[in-house]
Amino acid sequence: MSGYDVARKIRANKLFDDVVLVALTGYGGDADIQAAHAAGFDAHITKPADFQILNELLAGRIRSKAS
C-alpha cells in the first residue's frame, strides 16, 4: 500500500476528518504535488523537511479548529 492509498483510505472514513495529512517525500515535481493533493493530503513537503514550515502548517490547522 502506498502513501497515496493510505491517504485515500483515511479520507474515506469520516472519523478521520480532522486528521492533518502531510506528504513528506523526496519527489517534488508538479505532478507529485498534484498527486498528493488528489489523494487527500493537506500539504506536500519535499525532503529535507523544513520544520518551521511544518510547524506553521500544523499551528494554522490548530488555530482554524479553535475558531
Over the chain (67 residues), the average pLDDT of each successive run of 10 is 97 94 95 97 93 87 54
CA pair distance 44, 33, nearest whole angstrom:
6
Contact criterion met (CB below 8 Å) for 33 and 25:
no
Domain ranges, residue 20 = 3-66
Check residue 60 and give its pLDDT: 79
Which triple of cell numbers denotes residue 52?
Answer: 518551521
User: pTM for this structure?
Assistant: 0.83
Check residue 13 and give its pLDDT: 98
What is the count of structural domains for the chain?
1
Check residue 57 and give its pLDDT: 87
We report the CATH number of the domain holding residue 52 as 3.40.50.2300
Check residue 66 and give its pLDDT: 43
Q: From the centroid of its chain, how far is CA 53?
A: 12
Check residue 58 and give its pLDDT: 84
Which triple of cell numbers denotes residue 36?
Answer: 498528493
Cβ burial of 14 (10 Å; 0-12, 13-18, 19+) is exposed
- 3-class DSSP state of 65: helix
